[in-house]
Structure 1
């Protein structure tokens, strides 16, 4: 956003930030927050504290650094109010929570949680931090609403390193699926309306995550890897304590049959199993895939899940790409609706692009726990302001943001872009 555009939106931004001002405590801290968000929206070569202080009147570098890295205001309270505002504008009982992670490239070893680890953002293993995020998506729009910093196990076990980075004493190691589940649980506790949860195979292959979402009474459409195991017929589970032929009682439940790999099951599907579905209206016309669906029982740590659908998506072309999903939605939910829900996952990727490109989500220079959480919370706040303004000003959505109607493939007119 250039200076002129920001100046035109200044009255709206002032009113927007005034709603959050009491959460920062002192008036001086609220003023720092106001200027910092302006700096994030202003853009420039890099939205570090120093650059923001140079660009925004009234900023003092050291005071702004202290506000981000040390000030006692609660980023969780800030995001709780943001979530309430998102519900007020976008809330829908049939909404989708999309979970995903993104990487933040870093040099050195002192930034909290940094290590050589895989980052989908970079497409490789590199020195970086990883944050797990949740995006709220309804037919009215979408927004990033929460995040958790992934702290690797070696970091969590290193007391001197934790102390140096300001990691809270109560923090224990949590996997990415555990972090994501915690945010889904918190969204439900804060009475955010939603029915669906999506995620890639990091979450779909995690028994902790899928069992946790099922326990909340929510439905998921999550990716599953090709080497996941399933039973295509309900397996027989022998309970613990059952005596075998030799008179010995089993110490744990066991299954009498061996599950198959997902890719082997997919390879055996007949040609009649596939149906063409329009997933979305893209910039080049309808986005069409072929889908197949069958009921299976997934192996979760060797034991069967409840009866679920294995949803297989195949691209249309000479060299089709196949992706597999799993869903615990009941039988009355059609395949077309499951495809539509999984298609909503695009919005979290778009949110990452906007948050980094327009709101400086990845342009922080602070190394500590408090600084990372303060910076990312204010970036999410800036992103939410932009989302509200685009809606208020009636800007046309990008092609992939058009109404994502889904149905059987058939000739159809292109949907008009929505303001």
Structure 2
């Protein structure tokens, strides 16, 4: 991925997806909330890391979430092939594990984005700040946010934002065109030299009561448009889940063991990355072919006298 799609402005995206299952034998399965189904179901949850660059986007890493009930049941662990060294880890901890691997592998990335499950985890944010990696992380409306007047809530700050603070911007293109929202950005106090902290607020154009909040960190002087762009990049992992399930069988498996799940998912990630790379290369070759064919030679240009 670094070689073919790497870009200095790359964005790493953490999110999970559910795998609906019947029975109680599949590693990590239990009744738990699945964003895929939009409700509590009997399922496995996989935490994934995606990479998005100007060239393409694809899934690059994975971890299977094991609930505490599984980790504390030796007989069940043995039957599912879960090694004794595998302990309980929260979803943000699994996300950090994958981020560490991506950074250690030299994958160029300037930003990380994720939903509320990760944004409200202080250890997740602190690690990124220590690595000097920018982030745009969704947080709930009641998240404690530092201000010069003490801690406050994002929804309280949004209610008191001046009219001129709101700007209509697109955070990327969707299936129906640009994703337009009203956005406001507030600077927050911080102690990091050369870096800034911000609260980014997104408001629906059709329903002004529909708001989303993001805690942001990055180089001092980061433009509002950059924060908005990174916030919109989070949709890339949803697109990756969709294409991986329809094109390379991300959720088409019958395995039950822990190690077998990793084998299947790893092969799927390889296939998905291969498709992303070949698609990006084809687009580049097509673009170059069009550009070259549209530039006539000097002899062709001088063969006739053009009206100017």
Q: TM-score, normalised by structure 1?
A: 0.64
Q: TM-score, normalised by structure 2?
A: 0.86
8 A contact 1:234–1:297 mirrored in 2: no
Matched, 1:329 2:244: no
- What is the count of residue pairs matched by the alignment? 281
Question: Structure 1 pair 295/319, CA: closer, same or farther in 2 (3 Å)?
Answer: closer
User: Aligned with 1:288: secondary structure?
Assistant: strand
Correspondences of 1:95-110 after superposition (within 5 Å)? 95-110=10-25
1:379 to 268, 291, 296: 268
User: Aligned with 1:147: secondary structure?
Assistant: strand
Superposition CA RMSD, Å: 2.0
Partner of 2:301: none
Alpha-carbon separation, structure 2, partners of 1:278 and 1:124: 30
Q: Which runs of 5+ in 1 are unaligned?
A: 1-85, 236-258, 299-305, 396-419
1:216 to 131, 143, 146: 131
More strand by share: 2
Correspondences of 1:11-410 after superposition (within 5 Å)? 86-233=1-148, 235=150, 259-282=151-174, 284-296=176-188, 308-319=197-208, 321-394=210-283
User: Aligned with 2:218: secondary structure?
Assistant: coil
8 A contact 1:276–1:288 mirrored in 2: yes
Partner of 2:299: none
> Which structure: larger Rg?
1
Give the superposition deviation at 1:286: 3.5
8 A contact 1:290–1:316 mirrored in 2: yes
8 A contact 2:14–2:48 mirrored in 1: yes
Select between 322-331 and 361-370 the one with higher mean Cα deviation: 322-331
Alpha-carbon separation, structure 2, partners of 1:370 and 1:189: 24
User: Aligned with 2:180: secondary structure?
Assistant: strand
User: Aligned with 1:170: secondary structure?
Assistant: coil
